[in-house]
Amino acid sequence: MKPATRTSIIFVSIIVAGGALSAKWVMKEAARVGREQEARRALRAPKGVDMAWIPSGKFTMGSNDGQLDERPIHDVKVKGFWMDRYEVTNDQFAKFVQETGYVTTAEQSPDPKLFPDAPKENLVPGSVVFTPPPRVETLNNHMQWWSYVKGANWRHPEGPESDIKGRGNHPVVHVSWFDCEAYAKWAGKRLPTEAEWEYACRGGLEQNPYSWGRERFEKGMWMMNIWQGQFPNENLAQDGFKGTAPIGSYAPNSYGLHDMAGNVWEWVSDWYRPDYYSKSPRDNPAGPVDSFDPDEPGVQKRVGRGGSYLCSDMYCKGYRPAARQKTSPDTGLSHTGFRCALDAPAP
């Protein structure tokens, strides 16, 4: 018997047996069963498509517990859509590149017109790699552990000498926002909006600290790939991974989505503005029309979500469902990838 059918039968017999049950309880129970069935339906994505159906609904976006740009919390309605269950992998990205001949931003020389102040010898293809020094004085300056590495790109994540052998099912990294857009278009998909991403991440649960619920550990197990130990030098990997983990190494949230917390940051379609939530539309917000980051005025930025294997409680709690990363769209980073969304009929 299908689980959903069984649930419905149990539900009906409870109502018959308990004539004195309050209407409020019955309605609450009906809503719960409805949600459960919706969750089961999400397990029946179109054949061969590793996507989950995210049912339409309303949720409270943002958080009062995080950074100022997560405020104010506000109600948002989201239309149903499909979401990749996993982050896009190296193998998937390789197929895209093979079929299209696409060259990523990190594989091209930066345009000198866009970087008039940069020394000419620095205008070479490359990407931003996590390179912690043996000692850091303070955690205030993140430039200490990020370096622009010549020859680093998605095929060479740690620099020209490195490769992705054995990492075919790891999330692709060092992809710019433009690269993700190009991949999504090729795949017949699109990047999720920031609101869709957070809605999907929360999995139908209201204002929980984690994408799967309230408790950090379930059965004593780590639920996400983040950083344990003294950041940025002591990487204890108690969750099993020092760097990226193969996709789906951790349990999914209630919508069947894996790695919505940790592993790699995921680009979404929105421009970044810290003040957007105070004026964003209530229905399917698609982000502001332009970008502004008071920390770096003049640099247009897109949003990333979900945190990465570099997130830790002592430095960056980016794994929280409401946490936002802001990055210029031409930037590749060793902890940033993406997943896609799709508009298609409900299952």
Helices 177-186, 90-100: crossing angle, 10 deg rounding: 70
Q: Which of residues 35-94 bind Ca ion (CB under 5 A)?
A: none
Provide the 8-state DSSP code for 72. S
Choose the one of Cu ion, Ca ion, none that binds residue 316, judging by a C-beta under 5 to 8 angstroms depending on kind.
Cu ion
Q: Which of 106, 316, 333, 340 binds Cu ion (CB under 5 A)?
A: 316
Report how far Cα 335 is from the mean position of its chain's Cα atoms: 11
Contact range with Ca ion by CB under 5 A, out of 72-80, 152-160, 204-212, 224-232: 224-232
Residue 241 in contact with Ca ion, rule: CB under 5 A: yes
Alpha carbon of 342 to those of 51, 145, 259, 276: distances in Å? 9, 36, 18, 24
Helix boundaries (H) for the chain: 3-17, 23-41, 90-100, 177-186, 194-202
Distance CA 1, CA 7 (A): 10
Which single residue is written with the structure tokens 């502004």?
A: 292
Closest approach of Cu ion to the CB of residue 161, in Å: 26
Residue 311 binds to Cu ion (criterion: CB under 5 A): yes
Instruction: Choose the stretch contacting Ca ion; rule: CB under 5 A; options: 55-63, 173-181, 182-190, 306-314.
Output: 306-314
Q: Does 304 bind Cu ion (CB under 5 A)?
A: no
Residue 249 near Ca ion by CB under 5 A: no
In the shown chain, the binding pattern of residues 208 to 237 toward Cu ion, with x for contact by CB under 5 A and - for none, equals: ------------------------------
Residue 4: CB atoms within 10 A of its CB come to 16
Any contact of residue 266 with Ca ion (CB under 5 A)? no
Q: Give the chain's end-to-end CA distance (angstroms, integer).
A: 19
333 scored as a contact of Cu ion (CB under 5 A): no
Q: Which does 225 bind (CB under 5 to 8 A by kind): Ca ion, Cu ion, none?
A: Ca ion
Report if residue 259 touches Ca ion, rule: CB under 5 A.
Answer: no
Instruction: Report the alpha-carbon distance of residue 301 to residue 270 in Å, rounded.
Output: 9
Residues engaged in binding Cu ion (CB under 5 A): 307, 311, 316, 318
